[in-house]
């Protein structure tokens, strides 16, 4: 049994994590057709789903179904940008104790358009709040150019870390989001900031 399988079998034992990994399989494998492994045909995990990762998970407060989630990885340990996509950063991927990577930004597909927008805004707001609470000064990540255009419109301070590279149907690029005292007012100005109405769970995998 591999370490990856062992971690994966432990993780879905938590209801919130299990719901998140199932939603990730629906979004990234079933809908987007990414070439990713699926544990038991139900859960999407990769090598970066490990004890270093933190998860921000939003659940419906009534039935506790998954609504939105994201994975955070410290840039001082292996992460997507540093290990797989360093070529997107001509000056090298940013790294430091206050710099974390966002990946697997997932909105549950079984939602109406209005529910998806609400969940998205609450997740963005929760990520900003989490950063301010835990001393994270910058988020980094990888996105296609269409998704980066949306991220940039949320009202926080974004910049690209290098030119876009062809990566399938749409070019991809690396980006950074600065988190500081202007972040929440910026999200509020664009109408992106939303008060937390969903149930917030923060999770980690057992070693």
Instruction: Give me the CATH code for the 3-203 domain, please.
Output: 3.40.630.30
- Per-residue pLDDT, averaged over 114-120, amounts to 97
Q: Nearest 5°: phi and psi at 36?
A: -130, 155
- Which DSSP string do the residues of the chain spell out, in sequence order? --HHHHHHHHGGGSHHHHHHHHHHIIIIIIIS-----EETTTEE--TT-STT-EEEEEE-TTT--EEEEEEEEETTS--HHHHT-GGG-TT----STTEEEEEEEEE-SSS-HHHHHHHHHHHHHHHHHHHHHHT--EEEEEEEHHHHHHHHTTSSEEEESS--B--SSS-EEEEEEE-STTHHHHHHHTT------SEEEEE----
Please answer whether residues 144 and 105 qualify as being in contact, where contact means their C-beta atoms are separated by less than 8 angstroms: no
The pLDDT tens digits of the residues spanning 133-183 come to 999 999 999 999 999 999 999 999 999 999 999 866 789 999 999 999 999
CA distance 200 to 54: 13
Per-domain residue ranges for the chain? 3-203
Q: In angstroms, how far is CA 38 from the centroid of its own chain? A: 18
CA distance 203 to 185: 27
Q: Is the pTM of this model over 0.85?
A: yes
The pLDDT tens digits of the residues spanning 181-190 come to 999 999 999 9
Could you tell me what percent of the chain has a pLDDT over 90?
Answer: 81
How does strand 138-144 pair with strand 172-178? Answer: antiparallel
The pLDDT tens digits of the residues spanning 3-34 come to 444 344 444 458 999 999 999 999 999 998 88
């Amino acid at each position: 049994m591999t370490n990856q399988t062992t971690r994966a079998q432990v993780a879905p034992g938590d209801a919130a994590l299990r719901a998140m990994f199932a939603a990730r399989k629906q979004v990234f494998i079933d809908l987007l057709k990414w070439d990713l492994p699926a544990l038991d045909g139900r859960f999407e995990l990769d090598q970066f789903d490990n004890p270093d990762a933190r998860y921000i998970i939003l659940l419906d407060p009534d039935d506790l179904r998954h609504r939105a989630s994201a994975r955070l990885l410290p840039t001082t340990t292996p992460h997507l940008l540093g290990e797989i996509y360093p070529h997107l950063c001509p000056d090298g991927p940013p790294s430091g104790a206050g710099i974390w990577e966002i990946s697997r930004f997932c909105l549950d597909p079984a939602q109406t358009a209005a529910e998806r927008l609400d969940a998205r805004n609450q997740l963005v707001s929760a990520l900003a709040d989490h950063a301010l609470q835990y001393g994270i000064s910058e988020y980094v990540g990888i996105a296609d150019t269409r998704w980066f255009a949306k991220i940039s419109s949320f009202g926080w301070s974004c910049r690209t870390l290098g030119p876009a590279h062809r990566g399938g149907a749409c070019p991809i690029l690396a980006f950074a989001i600065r988190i500081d005292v202007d972040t929440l007012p910026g999200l509020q100005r664009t109408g992106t900031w939303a008060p937390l109405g969903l149930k917030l769970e923060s999770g980690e995998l057992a070693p």
